[in-house]
Amino acid sequence: MWSQKKQSPPPDHGHAVAVIIFMLGLGTLLPWNFFVTATQYFNERLSVNVSAISCNGSAPVVMTTDYKFDSWMAFLSQLPLLLFTLLNSFLYQWVRESVRVAFSMVAISFFFCLTAALVHVPLHPDNFFSVTMATIWFINMFGAVLQGSLFGLVGLLPPRYSTVFMSGQGLAGIFAALAMLFSILSNADKSLAALGYFITPCVATLGTLLCYLLLPRLEFARFYLSRAGAAELEKPQQLDTCADKKPLNNNSKDAEAGGVESGGFITHPTDKETRSSVLSVFKKIWLMALCVTCVFAVTLAVFPVITVRVQSVYKGNPAWSKIFTCVCCFIVFNVMDVVGRGAPSLVQWPSMRSRLFPLAVFSRLVFIPLLMMCNIPDSRFAFFTHDAAFVTIMAAFSFSNGYLASLCMAYAPQLVRSKDAETAGSLMTFFLALGLSLGAAMSFLLAKLV
């Protein structure tokens, strides 16, 4: 029997739980971002000329292959993310969360160590492409399980921790972009710089694992992550961060599910009696699921496949041209994305009940033609040729991505009971991955158009 006396949540001393949740968010997207920002390294390895001496002894014949690395990387990153996020959504009850998280982090570290080791291994471009694609597949397979598990965990905490988690994910991109910038600017040998670049996420992922193992030792986290703590929290307390400040009244729903009202709060005899089915949870959050799918589909359709093709108008400045893509594409995107992810902690508009929210989400489709009209060599649509135009569009594009995605992920658990928050978090992660996969598939078509 659950205690009939409502417990007050303990304080988050020193914001320790918030820091750990931030680090967990950082760790989930480090693998993807380190591969995305290293496109220059991979394309250089794949562009090694395969020469053959002609039969008459004249100049060698140079043969090059267009591997479409950026599009394939995006697609083979998001397909396993989609498949294994779906698997995690339905089978998360069969494997303990701690096992899923720990094993995934160790596996991701192993494959990054493999990528780092291949820096000094000479391989034919075909073989290097195959090994790299396989590595990307497995890293994102384990990343899907890791992200789905952690989103479910964060869904049990107060809504503001979803924003903290999403902000950590945004910082992962900044971290990777700055690491690549330092590699480009350093005078070190390219192979040595690449080796240090790929070792960095190995160390960071192991550090994230230590943070995860520390989380259950904190009283604040134990209160919310324990089923008793989650059951004793009233729904209105979870809604105190909403912009409209109008809490939902879920007492009737809890009572119908077998809860007993006592002293103004709901108690539950058993956990199994009150957990809703996946389909039932989906019916309550389907609009947020559709919105988060649209947000990431638009983003992955053009980033990085289209955005990395934009070049500086100042071609006479080789130093600027060398770092233009890293700064104006990756750093601008990730900085504004993390600003957008953190903005809901200050203001949440539109509210989750507003009709303006889905309108704001679908209005992001305008960024696809806008970015295609930037200064891409040999493009038929080039209109915004100045560097400032590209930076401005990228800033608005990335801020809206982080802001709207963060709102979607924070709103969804508030539409269900506390007991179903973990299921809602896992389902939202699946639709997030669905959006990424759809965007990656669209990128093949858009790449041909420009």
Report how far apart, in Å, the C-alpha atoms of 107 and of each of 31, 145, 194, 203 are.
11, 11, 21, 13
Q: How far apart are CA 192 and CA 183, in angstroms?
A: 9
> CA–CA separation, 14 vs 64, rounded Å?
56
What pairs with residue 50 in β-bridges?
Answer: 63
pLDDT score, position 425 = 81
State the average pLDDT over residues 230-235: 44
pLDDT of residue 329: 94
Q: Give yes or no for residue 359 having a pLDDT over 50.
A: yes
For residue 383 the two structure tokens come to 């209109």
Residue bearing the bigger pLDDT, 253 or 227: 227
What is the distance between the alpha carbons of residues 234 and 185, in angstroms, rounded to a whole number? Answer: 53
Domain boundaries, the chain: 13-52+67-449
Residue 48: the pLDDT is 58
Nearest in space to 413 (alpha carbons), one of 161, 217, 49: 161
Q: What is the pLDDT of residue 175?
A: 87
Report pLDDT for 29.
Answer: 85
What local confidence, expressed as pLDDT, does residue 313 receive?
93
More confident residue, 367 or 163: 367
How many other β-carbons are positioned within 10 Å of the β-carbon of residue 247? 15
Which CB contacts under 8 angstroms, 24+ apart, belong to 239-244?
A: 239/159, 239/414, 241/158, 241/159, 241/160, 241/345, 241/348, 241/410, 242/159, 242/348, 242/351, 242/352, 242/414, 243/347, 243/348, 243/349, 243/350, 243/351, 244/351, 244/353, 244/354
pLDDT of residue 421: 83
Mean pLDDT, all residues of the chain? 81
The pLDDT, as a whole number, for residue 247 is 38
Residues 44-87 have pLDDT tens digits of 888 754 444 344 444 444 445 667 788 888 888 888 878 887 77
Extract the tokens encoding 428.
């939202």
- Asked if the 13-52+67-449 domain carries CATH number 1.10.10, the reply is no
pLDDT score recorded for residue 95:
76
Q: Is the pLDDT of residue 179 over 50?
A: yes
What's at 269, amino acid-wise?
Answer: P
Supply 363's token pair. Answer: 């209005």
Q: What is the C-alpha separation between 64 and 43, in angstroms, rounded?
A: 12
Q: How far is CA 123 from CA 106, 149, 194, in A?
A: 26, 36, 16
pLDDT computed for residue 209 by the predictor: 93
Residue 437 CB neighbour total at 10 angstroms: 24
* Helix, strand, coil distribution of the chain in percent, nearest 5: 70, 5, 25
Which residue carries 């609009």 as its tokens? 287
Let me know: does 332 contact 395? Beta carbons within 8 Å: yes
